[in-house]
Amino acid sequence: MKQQFLFDKIPAMLHGGDYNPDQWVKYPEILKKDIELMKEARINCVSMGIFAWSMLEPEEGRYQFDWLDERIESLYQNGIYTILATPSGARPAWLDKKYPEAMRVDSYGQRNHHGVRHNHCPSSPAYREKVREMNTQLAKRYGSHPGLILWHVSNEYGGACYCPLCTERFREWLKKKYKTIDQLNDAWWSSFWSHRYTSFEEIEPPFQNGETSMAAMQLDWKRFTTWNTQDFMEEEIKPLREFAPQVPVTTNFMHLYGGLDYAPMAKDLDVISWDSYPFWHRPGESMGHTAAVTAFSHSQMRNYKQGQPFLLMESAPGLVNWQPFNKIRRPGVHRLSSLQSVACGSDSVQYFQFRKNRGSFEQYHGAVVDHEGSDRTRIFREVAQLGEDLAKLAPVAGSRVKTQAALLMDTPNRWAVELISGLSEHKEMMETVCAHYESFTSSGCDLDVISSDTDFSSYKLLILPMLYMISDELGEKLKDYVKQGGVVIATYLLGYVGDTLLAHLGGFPGANLREVFQIWNEEIDSIYPSERNAIRTGDGRLYEVRDYCEVLHTEGAEVLASYEKDYYRDMPAVTLSHYGKGHAIYIGARVEEDYLKKLYFKTAAALGLPVCSLPENVEKHVREDEENLYTFYLNFNDQRVSLHSVTPGGDLLTGQEIGDTAYLEPYGVLCLKSPKS
């Protein structure tokens, strides 16, 4: 079986990162040294041009490519490939001066002055035209260079613009969606507080000093912002595909970013990539927890393209400069963090950035090469060591993480929950979703993070944390999934509203799910942070509950746990129903993770998933190709731990054969290759 690589030109893991020679054109010695150091660290690809507009086009229409020609060619001659960015993430001053409409307008309606980055107006025809011209130049000039492997479109798209052009496009978008103003009024329930509109022209974006009371409108604004950003991105991609159709396209996504819905955007991309900057060593937070939250994002990114390997596009060698306290990663943590990405499905480890800039904003951000300039630093040594490890992991490239369990996480549902005016301040949507991810994966099984447009049929188990917004269509899809034999585990807040936030009438859970779960959720109690309740399970054990308790009635479901106190004492808190060939569990309260872990372990084991018991702060992930399994064990403890019931195999990192027991050194990693049985 031929190994499948993301890029045929690099039959291995990618190792490299952002490289900004545009800042160093006056330092030829340094540019020369860069290539030497890259080779020493086994770097095989770099991302260039991300913020290079003012060097590429110093004045309107005067292009300057010689420095980039030289870099791409010299790197290529030395076996280093290029990921080339389009520079739209930051604009030169001349552009904003000549075309002020390119500058974004904030949520108070005030136009930005020139500066910073990631702040263009996505609607501006003038900016779109400038970007088209630039991208055409890049595609024509470099599209067929043998050193080019990938387009990196813009950088970390995000934010929203409230300018008149965007307002006009918002109105057009709404007209297309609702057809008539009457249908919009009904969908937004705008008769409340007399907010009915008589024409689309009366609609403004949700300015902070304007309409902030209509959640459905805010939700549509967020959907529109995604659509408009995606539309801009598609315009960016057009000339690349036209003049260099053989070169794939990515853009770099961000960790738990809530400003855009990446799921539709992913459809325009050939490869998913993202920037991961975990807060390692945060006091009061275990490394295992930081790791689990990071693994959650890896899983989400991997599943934007149905499990295809993704790229870790950026990560910090050493430290960043933007956290409140920029603590340096302890020795060994860089390797551990990087190999976790690979274990979760990345075919690369890339950094921001290769060489530390001499001045300006990110002067103190970690880089492979420090201001000191040599290979003698601890960070450089760790990066070079990782380069060797990645070379040993070449057989893993192209393999996939496969699992039969998934967690449903739709960004619009996150928006809907965050827009709820009610309950309590402790909505903690993403914390909750990640807690479910962490609890499930402590069973040693991988968990896919998917959006609701995914085909559910390859999964035996679906986890639905706080799935508050459910359209009738999604309700049907879930119902059908259970009917056909699927198992779902859902929590409080299930199916309160449809996709314009109108409450489902007839009792929660709505969208026909009451019939599936065989419960009626009559009330939800938000308890104070200082208060606790508990649930009691059949074996008499108590598990603590905080924040939310729903008052449930069974309509046929079996009660697995009931409340310990308050007026709903002894009423159902966790239920199980059988529906069609499957079943459905409902968790009505925010219950402690210990309970979730046990429930998930038991459920996964009963479904025949490969559960195992792992020490605290140890992760297991499995990648596979047609012939082999690659089982990763990662130790997020600064102490040695022992492992039992290991999947035996040869450790690709050390060459040792490992049996069913093994040790993991502090921050240690094993990658065991074993034939599939």
> 400, 395, 337, 444: which is closest to 649 by C-alpha?
395
Long-range contact list for 316-319, CB < 8 A, 24+ apart? 316/277, 316/351, 316/352, 316/365, 316/366, 317/351, 317/366, 317/367, 317/368, 317/379, 317/382, 317/383, 318/366, 318/367, 318/379, 319/365, 319/366
355 binds, among ligand GLA, Zn ion, none (CB under 5 to 8 A by kind): none
Q: Does 19 sit near ligand GLA (CB under 6 A)?
A: no
Q: Tell me the backbone φ, ψ of residue 57, rounded to 5 degrees.
A: -145, 80
Q: Which of 298, 365 has the CB closer to ligand GLA?
A: 365
The yes or no reply on residue 156 touching ligand GLA (CB under 6 A) is yes
In the region spanning residues 248 to 307, those forming contacts with ligand GLA, defined by CB under 6 A, are 275, 277
Tokens of 507: 């009792």
In the complex, the smallest distance separating the C-beta of residue 327 from ligand GLA, rounded to whole angstroms, is 14
163 binds, among Zn ion, ligand GLA, none (CB under 5 to 8 A by kind): Zn ion
Using CB under 6 A as the binding rule, whether residue 71 contacts ligand GLA is answered as no
The partner residues of 526 in beta bridges, in order of sequence, read 548
Question: Between β-strands 533-537 and 657-658, what pairing exists: parallel, antiparallel or unpaired?
Answer: unpaired
From the list 49, 55, 133, the residue with the least C-alpha distance to 99 is 133
Contact letters for ligand GLA, residues 360-379 (x by CB under 6 A): --x--x--------------
CB-wise, 320 or 420, nearer to ligand GLA?
Answer: 320
Side chain identity at 6, as an amino acid letter? L
Does 220 sit near ligand GLA (CB under 6 A)?
no
> Residue 166 touches which of Zn ion, ligand GLA, none (CB < 5 to 8 A by kind)?
Zn ion
Task: Cite the beta strand spans of 126-231 per DSSP E.
Answer: 148-152
Stretch that binds Zn ion, among 158-166, 232-240, 550-558, 642-650 (CB under 5 A): 158-166
Residue 161 touches which of Zn ion, ligand GLA, none (CB < 5 to 8 A by kind)? Zn ion
Question: Between residues 57 and 275, which has the closer beta carbon with respect to ligand GLA?
Answer: 275
Nearer to ligand GLA, 118 or 402 (CB): 118
Neighbours of 128 (CB within 10 A): 19
Cα 391 from chain centre: 26
- Which structure tokens are listed for 235? 């315009």
What long-range pairs does 287-292 form, CB within 8 A, spacing at least 24?
287/617, 287/636, 287/637, 287/638, 288/616, 288/617, 288/618, 288/619, 288/636, 288/637, 289/438, 290/636, 291/340, 291/617, 291/619, 291/634, 291/636, 292/434, 292/437, 292/438, 292/441, 292/619
The conformation of residue 513, written as its DSSP 8-state character, comes to: T
Provide, rounded to whole angstroms, the least separation between the CB of residue 257 and ligand GLA: 11
* DSSP category for residue 565: S
- At residue 651, what are phi and psi to the nearest 5 degrees? -75, 115
Single out the residue of 352, 437, 563, 632 in contact with ligand GLA (rule: CB under 6 A): 352
By CB under 5 A, residue 166 contacts Zn ion: yes
Distance from C-alpha of 255 to C-alpha of 279, rounded to nearest angstrom? 12
Widest distance between CA atoms in the chain: 77
- Torsion 52-58-63-65 (CA) sign: negative
Give the C-alpha distances (Å, rounded to integers) separating 614 from 306, 360, 407, 636. 27, 45, 21, 12
365 binds, among ligand GLA, Zn ion, none (CB under 5 to 8 A by kind): ligand GLA
DSSP states of 623-650: EE-SSEEEEEEEE-SSS-EEE-S---EE
In the bound state with ligand GLA, the residue whose beta carbon lies nearer, of 326 and 674, is 326
CB of 25 to Zn ion, least distance (A): 33
Residue closer to ligand GLA, measured from CB, 52 or 643: 52
Minimum distance from CB of 321 to ligand GLA (Å)? 7
Structure tokens given for 97: 């001066």
Q: Which residues are catalytic?
A: 156, 314
Contact 626, 664 (CB under 8 A): no
Cis peptide before 509 (omega within 30 of 0): yes
> What does the block give as tokens for 16?
């490299």
Task: State the minimum distance, in angstroms, from the CB of residue 277 to ligand GLA.
Answer: 6
How far from the centroid of its chain's Cα atoms is residue 259's Cα? 12
Is residue 22 part of the contact set for ligand GLA (CB under 6 A)? Answer: no
- Residue whose CB is nearest to ligand GLA in the complex, by number: 275
Interaction between residue 155 and ligand GLA (CB under 6 A): yes
Q: How far is the CB of 139 from ligand GLA (least distance, A)?
A: 22
Count, residues near ligand GLA per rule CB under 6 A: 9
Identify whether the C-beta of residue 407 lies closer than 8 Å to the C-beta of residue 450.
yes
Query: Which segments of 528-627 are extended strands (E)?
Result: 533-537, 542-554, 558-563, 572-579, 582-587, 589-591, 618-624
Q: Give dist(CA 490, CA 433) in Å, integer.
A: 11
Answer whether 148's CB lies under 8 Å from 142's CB.
yes
Structure-block tokens of residue 655: 């060459």
Task: From the list Zn ion, ligand GLA, none, pick the one residue 470 interacts with, judged by a Cβ distance below 5 to 8 Å according to partner type.
Answer: none
Q: Which does 564 bind (CB under 5 to 8 A by kind): ligand GLA, Zn ion, none?
A: none
Interface pick for Zn ion out of 47, 86, 123, 432 (rule CB under 5 A): 123
Choose from Zn ion, ligand GLA, none: what does 548 bind? Cβ within 5-8 Å by kind: none
Q: Is 103 in the site for Zn ion (CB under 5 A)?
A: no
Which stretch, 163-171, 178-186, 395-403, 434-442, contacts Zn ion (CB under 5 A)? 163-171
Cβ proximity to ligand GLA, 143 vs 278, nearer residue: 278
Nearer to Zn ion, 121 or 487 (CB): 121
Which lies closer to Zn ion via its Cβ, residue 222 or residue 479? 222
Q: Which stretch binds Zn ion (CB under 5 A): 24-32, 122-130, 362-370, 395-403?
A: 122-130
Q: Binding partner of residue 275 among Zn ion, ligand GLA, none, CB under 5 to 8 Å per kind?
A: ligand GLA
In the block, residue with structure tokens 């605290």: 616
Residue 318 or 495: the one with the smaller Cβ distance to ligand GLA is 318
- Burial level of 659, CB count in 10 A (0-12/13-18/19+)? exposed
**Phi, psi angles (nearest 5°) of residue 393:** -90, 10
Nearer to Zn ion, 209 or 677 (CB): 209
Q: Which of residues 300-339 bind ligand GLA (CB under 6 A)?
A: 314, 320
Q: Which is nearer to ligand GLA, 84 or 587 (CB)?
A: 84
Q: Does 121 bind Zn ion (CB under 5 A)?
A: yes
Near Zn ion by CB under 5 A, which window of 123-131, 137-145, 302-310, 355-363? 123-131
Cα–Cα distance measured from residue 670 to residue 459, given in angstroms and rounded to the nearest whole number: 28
Minimum separation from the CB atom of position 105 to Zn ion (A):
6
How many of the other CB atoms lie within 10 Å of CB of 247?
A: 21
The one of Zn ion, ligand GLA, none whose footprint includes residue 504, by CB under 5 to 8 A per kind, is: none
Scan residues 168-187 and list those touching ligand GLA (CB under 6 A): none
Nearest distance from residue 315's CB to ligand GLA, in Å?
A: 9
Q: Please report, as ranges, the residues that interact with ligand GLA according to CB under 6 A.
A: 155-156, 275, 277, 314, 320, 352, 362, 365
Q: Please report, as ranges, the residues that interact with Zn ion according to CB under 5 A.
A: 121, 123, 161, 163, 165-166
